[in-house]
């Protein structure tokens, strides 16, 4: 039987965190703030009639606050998601990950949080199950299938995959 993929799978080198879940139906702990216009845009500030120097200072302050919030979010993740993982492949259907935690076994349910970008911090989370184990280059690699993922998180992952592909095509174009 031939395997059919719905999503493009790419090699990557991302970091993430996992926690063991009792079932695949429990509520997710991770919830990222929606990407809405909660931050003030430069155009909004400039059109408000504020002095340009003040606009620039407010935008810089907004950026620094985003960084601090991101750092705080990472700190709180460490307590809820105790195991660090390295993501070596990603798609909209799941990931391949490497984790030194000895308690992770095929068939287990996990909640995974992936750090897609560092600045600004962009994360995505999903509940799923470990479906396969293999040894690649002497490392234990686990395949994790997403079973419960919010639309916003799936969209972030798909955008990351396509952006990575575009970046690689641009690099190849100039080689």
Domains, the chain, ranges and CATH?
A: 10-36+84-173 (2.40.10.220)
Q: What is the DSSP string of the chain?
A: -----SS--EEEEEEEEEEEES-SSSPPS--PPP-STTSPPHHHHHHTT--HHHHHHHHHHHHHHHHHHHHHHHHHHHHH--EEEEEEEE-SSEEEEE---TT--TT-EEEEEEEEETTTTEEEEEEEEEEEEEEETTEEEEEEEEEE--HHHHHHHHHHHHHHHHHHHHHHHT-
Lowest mean pLDDT among 16-20, 38-42, 130-134: 38-42
Give the rounded percent of residues in the chain with a pLDDT score beyond 70.
Answer: 87
pLDDT in tens, 80-122: 899 999 999 999 999 999 998 878 999 999 999 999 988 777 8
The pTM (predicted TM-score) of the whole model is 0.75
């Amino acid at each position: 039987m031939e395997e059919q993929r719905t999503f493009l799978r790419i090699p990557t080198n991302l970091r993430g965190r996992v926690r063991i879940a009792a079932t695949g139906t429990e509520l997710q702990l991770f919830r990222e703030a929606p990407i809405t216009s909660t931050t003030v845009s430069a155009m909004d500030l400039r059109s408000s009639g504020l002095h340009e120097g003040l606009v620039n200072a407010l935008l810089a302050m907004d950026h620094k606050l985003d960084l601090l919030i991101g750092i705080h979010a990472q700190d709180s993740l460490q307590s809820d998601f105790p195991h660090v993982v390295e993501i070596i492949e990603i798609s909209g259907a799941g990931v391949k990950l490497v984790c030194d935690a000895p308690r992770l076994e095929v068939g287990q349910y996990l909640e995974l949080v992936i750090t897609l970008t560092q600045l600004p911090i962009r994360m995505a989370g999903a509940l799923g199950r470990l479906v396969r184990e293999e040894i690649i280059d002497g490392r234990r690699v686990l395949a994790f299938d997403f079973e419960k993922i919010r639309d916003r998180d799936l969209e972030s992952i798909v955008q990351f995959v396509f952006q990575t592909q575009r970046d690689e095509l641009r690099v190849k174009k100039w080689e």
